[in-house]
Structure 1
Amino acid sequence: MKKRQLGAGGPEVSAIGLGCLSFGGTFGSTTDAESLRCLDAAWDMGIDFLDTANIYGMGRSEAVISEWLRTRKHRPKIATKASFVTAPERRVDNSEAHLRAELEGSLKRLGVEQVELFYIHRHEKGRPIEEVAGTLGRLVEEGKIGGYGMSEIAPYTLRRAHAVHPCRAVQNEYSLWTRQPELGLVQECARLGVAFVPFSPLARGVFGRVVFDPADPDAGSFRKEIPRFIEPDWSANRARVEAFRAWVHARGWSVPAVALAWLLAKGEHVIPIPGTRTAENVLDWRGADDLVLTAEDLAEIERLLPVGWAQGDRYNDEQAGTVERYS
């Protein structure tokens, strides 16, 4: 697989990474053995950039990666995250004490002495980002992390943090049905030399081999609470998706590969991290880094899925409560 640089001064990683949220069971039941096969398939394809977090399965995702590292002896670049406190109530904590403690927990679960990238999972409202960047900068200087990143932030937060200590990556939702990062964030990352890492690049299963079915009893509850998957929004969205899928299949292409190729074409600093529970789904991404979409292809995709086409919000009100908004 082709390589891309993980931010200015960062290492080269595979142009497509692997999101490991599903290893914790968020999107349906799974087993550790299935997750290990998924990791093997990704590695065999050339994917060497893994993305996890302390709360993915409450440590289960990191533990599975640790087992894979121990038994396979591979050395991928690993990103993990911290900030969420889940009890007694869910909140965001960017304090130095919390981030340090959670990072130490992640390193222990992963069985490594350093992670290549450590994100704040969300920016804590009311805490100056300059303070947080200072904390993260010290972790870099101490060798605990190779670099730091931020997730679900606005361009102004990136500028302020980067001025204190260079940020390596920003991770926000971005796909053919979530286009907000085009309103300045993708561009600001390019200007500052920061990698932009789209999560949910396959729209939470919408652009998978088969379309995610909200009625599937083994699909997990998270997506079923998202307005875009709830009627009447879902029927309207599915009609658009099916037209796009028909066009892709007529070209003899894989829907997931085209969705990823569309993102890769947005800039050399863009590194999408699709997530899955299965090795079979990983195989659907083959060739995405080599797929060149012509100007005519991009125009047709824009006609089928124009900016703003998705009906309904990408989060419900509770899920969106910790996300920085901008326009």
Structure 2
Amino acid sequence: MQYRKLGATGPMVSAIGLGAMSFGGIFGATDEGESLSCLDAMLETGIDFIDTANIYGMGISETVIGTWLASRKPQVTIATKASFVAGPDRRIDNSEAHLRAELEASLKRLGRDHVELFYIHRREQSRPLAEVVGTLSRLIEEGKIGGYGLSEVAPYTIRAAHALHPVTAVQNEYSLWTRAPELGVIQTCKALGIAFIPFSPLARGMLGDAPIARPEDGFRGTNPRFSEPNFSANLAKLTAFRAFAAERGWSTPAAALAWVLQQGDHLIPIPGTRYAQNLRQWVQAAEIRFTPEDWAEIDRLLPPGWAEGDRYGDHQLLAIERYC
């Protein structure tokens, strides 16, 4: 496993992290034993960076990770998030009271007195950014968090926040089928010494070795890219990429992650799974090196904009900053 720096002043972490959203049952029924086995496999492969959030299963993901941390006592870097207020009036809350309360609850579930990285899961547009960054900087001073991050934000927010207090990491969706960060986020993070953390780098399961059935879970089931006719069209376009990877002795997810890793040494993708066997398919990614011919073939097979359908439906756009 290769290692990369988590922001200008953060720790060295594995070049690939583990996204723990599915531990909370977001994509279907989950099993604690299965999740614990996945975390064990993660450690065996050299991955030491875990990304979770308070709302993943309404605390279930953090609780499972806390159980694992208590029994294994590994040396790992933990990132978590807060901002969503669940319920019928689902909204974003970046207030100091909310962020502090949610962080304390997360720390209790994780069995820790601090986390290395704490994100605002979304930006509350009506609240002054200086107020939010002020809260986060105080949490750093108090030793509750090692650094702060932003999620689903635009380059202008990154620059403004960083001018107030250095940002450790920015987490936006980025993969072979979601390329918007190439229009400013990746470059801004590079220029400012901020780690860019691509989530869903395997296209929410589409970039696996085998085609998936159309998902019926609450998140993907109503997502435009997973709705027909888009879903079938996207599956068909990925057939040739799977063959491309197989011909070179690579798993499809390893090839897709290698593509992300080679966009810059400040990128640390966090693919998600709760299955140990899926995780083991990723490790090869850090060793793959594309030739000029490989790059040309990938661009031919999956050019920017190839995916059909928006990455989010209108009902999924709460507080996501659009900039292109």
| TM-score strictly above 0.5 | yes
CA contact (8 A) 1:174 1:180 kept: yes
**1:103 aligned partner:** 103
* Deviation sequence 1:79-103 (CA, Å, 0-9, x none): 0000000024210000111001100
Distance 1:32 1:79 in 2: 20
Distance 2:217 2:40 in 1: 24
Q: Which runs of 5+ in 1 are unaligned?
A: none
Deviates more, 1:56-65 or 1:126-135: 126-135
**1:222 aligned partner:** 219
Measure how far apart 1:238 and its partner are: 1.2
Distance 2:256 2:311 in 1: 17
* Deviation sequence 1:60-92 (CA, Å, 0-9, x none): 000000000111111210000000000242100
**1:162 aligned partner:** 162
CA contact (8 A) 2:250 2:284 kept: no
CA contact (8 A) 2:170 2:189 kept: yes
Distance 1:319 1:182 in 2: 22
Measure how far apart 1:237 and its partner are: 1.1
Q: Which amino acid aligns with 2:128?
A: P
Q: How many residues align?
A: 324
1:57 has 2:57 as partner: yes
**1:117 aligned partner:** 117
- RMSD over aligned Cα atoms: 0.9
**1:251 aligned partner:** 248
Measure how far apart 1:293 and its partner are: 1.1
**2:93 aligned partner:** 93
Equivalent positions of 1:237-248 (< 5 A) are: 237-248=234-245
Runs of 4+ in 1 over 6 A off after TM superposition: none
CA contact (8 A) 1:25 1:220 kept: no
Measure how far apart 1:296 and its partner are: 1.5
**2:258 aligned partner:** 261
Q: Which amino acid aligns with 2:293?
A: E
Identity fraction in percent:
64
**SS at the partner of 1:149?**
strand
* Deviation sequence 1:119-147 (CA, Å, 0-9, x none): 00000121122221111111111100000
Measure how far apart 1:249 and its partner are: 1.2
The two structures have a TM-score, normalised by structure 1, of 0.97
Distance 2:280 2:210 in 1: 14
CA contact (8 A) 1:209 1:281 kept: no
Distance 1:88 1:213 in 2: 30
Measure how far apart 1:28 and its partner are: 1.4
CA contact (8 A) 1:29 1:220 kept: no
CA contact (8 A) 1:140 1:147 kept: yes
**2:70 aligned partner:** 70
Equivalent positions of 1:1-327 (< 5 A) are: 1-214=1-214, 220-327=217-324
Distance 1:197 1:233 in 2: 27
Q: Which runs of 5+ in 2 are unaligned?
A: none
* Deviation sequence 1:226-267 (CA, Å, 0-9, x none): 101111111221111111111111222110000000000010
Measure how far apart 1:299 and its partner are: 1.3
**Cα distance, 1:89–1:157 mapped onto 2, change above 3 Å:** same
Q: Which amino acid aligns with 2:26?
A: T
The two structures have a TM-score, normalised by structure 2, of 0.98
Deviates more, 1:315-324 or 1:191-200: 315-324
CA contact (8 A) 1:209 1:284 kept: no
CA contact (8 A) 2:209 2:242 kept: no
* Deviation sequence 1:12-53 (CA, Å, 0-9, x none): 000000000000011111200000000000110000000000
Deviates more, 1:196-205 or 1:128-137: 128-137
Q: Which amino acid aligns with 2:103?
A: L
